[in-house]
Amino acid sequence: MMMNRRNLFSAFALPGAATRGEGNRHLAGPVSSRDRIRDRHFPNLVLVTQEGKRVRFYDDLVKGNIVVLNFMFTSCSGVCPAITSNLVRVQKMLGPRVGRDIFMYSISLDPAHDTPRVLRQFAGDHGVGPGWYFLTGRRADTETLRRRLGFTDPDPNVDRDREQHIGNVRYGNEPLEQWAACPGLARAEFIAESILWVDWPENRRGKASQA
């Protein structure tokens, strides 16, 4: 079935989040939908970039930005190298906005092996530019992120096998609460256009006026 960007948004948007502190809502007051998404999907866990910098997932990486997320590991013999090369093409299409208001994050599924040095080498070998961070950390934390972000397979046997991990790319505009996903091996042009589909309203208006 052919899917346009709107269909992708409907099919792969972050699932609805349960409200925080449901039983104490009368004490805590109303909780915004942005807070619910944050609480359910963006735990503020500490990760480490390929440059060895410690960062908090929500506060330092996701909050206030357009972000592009995927999971990978450097010793992958499957789709990881091809998806990384494809996303390098996407990064070039997005131009200088990557690192300014669009950020790309690749989270390792094998943090014990993928140290900052190993990730830095992997990024360099693929020609990754500024604004794209490869992230490692405690195994329990990266696994929590994988599950919270929806990179899971319903078959537990497949889900346990790193070599069969989901090759999707999730992208979204955190302040505007717009989230979707697409295959990491889709055409680079399609992925870049899809990321810009969650762009800021003023940029969308500018594009419309140029049409």
CA distance 202 to 144: 35
Return the H-helix or E-strand segment holding 23.
none
Which secondary-structure segment (H or E) carries 178?
Answer: strand 178-183
Domain 31-210 homologous superfamily, CATH: Glutaredoxin (3.40.30.10)
pLDDT digits (tens, 9 = 90+) for 113-172: 999 999 999 999 999 999 999 999 999 999 999 999 999 888 888 868 777 788 899 999
Residue 2: HSE in the Cβ half-sphere, 13 Å Cα cutoff: 2
pLDDT bin (cut points 50, 70, 90) of residue 8 is very low
Strand 168-173 vs strand 178-183: parallel, antiparallel, or unpaired?
Answer: antiparallel
CA quadruple 88, 89, 91, 96: dihedral positive or negative?
A: positive
**pLDDT for residue 4 is more than 50:** no
- CA torsion angle 39 12 163 116 (round to 10): -50
pTM: 0.84
